[in-house]
Structure 1
């Protein structure tokens, strides 16, 4: 098959990793893969995975120049299926594919619009427009979980359009021996000038509002003020970059924890496993998610996970994380204090690794997408 993925991003994140996994798996399975995206780290990774990449961004919600160029590209390269990711890319890609006569068209907004951290009016408008376009032009809209499917259905997307395919990861990438863990941890501590004996409470995501970092900082400060942890014994590490970096530094200063905060900024993909290995605890304080890829990465890495109680995260994580009320810094502080007091349970860690391997492997992920693509292109 000749497949085209369309997104309007050049920076790494969960959606971009999802597309990279698709590119890598479809190339390995012998398909011709094309990607339209912004220039950046992400576009380079798609090229390295074997995709033919056109670096171009979308300037408007509906961008006539972009649509015309994409329509010509689809025709010139005899694209059989177009798969758009996130609203702006989906709308423009679906219109271009329709104009080009490509009948197999897949759409995917990863975090449901109903869960975006925007005004109610904007949610209503965006949901209505997106639903109309998807119902009219998309062959299938992807939902990552059953709970996300229900949210999208409630937002007006037709049941016949919705298809559940969970994310997947290469579980072996996150398996490391105790010696490897110690080596990776030393490397990370050296990189950030940390005492190797310090306890690292970590999270990994873009620094954006919906990821809940401000809640995490409040909870960490509360732990210190309660004497649940000694300030000099712990560090809070936020792995990732984004628009909230300066705001978070300011908040940390106001809370008196600036000297216990590490913000890594954007980092190379090969450092991800090292960060997981360096963590003693993983916290996922997200306020809105479509799946939570880092949740299953952390579980596979054998970490004790404290996680917000969003329905989608409880569906994905099962009984293994320790859940707190989403957005509640005091409940997060309570759950973190509990996690810090518990002794590591190796049997539990093995069970959570098996949970991920059985439900969210990259092989299952790729097989489900390839089957969907074949079904749509053979109609």
Structure 2
């Protein structure tokens, strides 16, 4: 904690910095250190993101200028205090990564953001009057989301946001005021508007023809974990009683049972480090039914997680065909690939992954054990 605090105060960027310990895995640790310096800390990618967007089906003239903005948050406890902080990460078509803080109006580079975030957390730890800046309430999150979305700039932009917490914040002090539109019961009916009537500084419903939103291609809501299905089947496979199997590569599926609101499901590829589950011994086993079976007990369900991707407030040009709508979904789907984790896929798209870990890696300055 004190080491990270000192680095932050002296303007050194230390995200994902690890200290050498005696271990048989020295080679792996050295490789991680090299990846930290050469890829992770500078937000590097193999090639240009614009190439990924074109592969997803985005027209070339849009792909070459597309910004992908992810709204990221992290909540944890520090004694009797709740720490709740959010930021936005912007991945440009050129591969540049920028960050925007709630209390700022300007985007800054990702390495510089690590330094400034460390300084923010350090000041909050020393000065309780400043602590509220890292204790965002529900309405603070709503205002930050509204500000980011309505100030997308001159480049075509796709905004990514999780449903969890952003759709509602429990607690009397918050009044549940975040962004209710993200709830399932509201999203379909309000899919072509942005309802920020309850947000200070906005207090209105934005429509697709608003001048500030002409470059916003759409917003994508994510759900994961126990909110999503964790297997894929179809009627033919179900009736054939086909054996269970792993997905060995990044795979995408979509559900068109609700025609007006596409649900796209992204499943990461099977990590190379995970023990294969598609064997006669482990097939069809449940972990609780095989407590004394080493094969059943070793089934690692945690690795391949399904991510639900739902686009809304979509630009009219991308509503013309189902294929154009799916191309927007493929952008975050393909961005689950990271050059620093090539043996599998990260759970969230690259800019959201960077934002979440930027916050998490500096929480130790506040005294939070992650």
| TM-score normalized by the length of structure 2 | 0.25
Higher RCO by CA contacts (8 Å cutoff, separation 6 or greater): 2
Structure in which a larger fraction of residues adopt helix: 1
| TM-score normalized by the length of structure 1 | 0.25
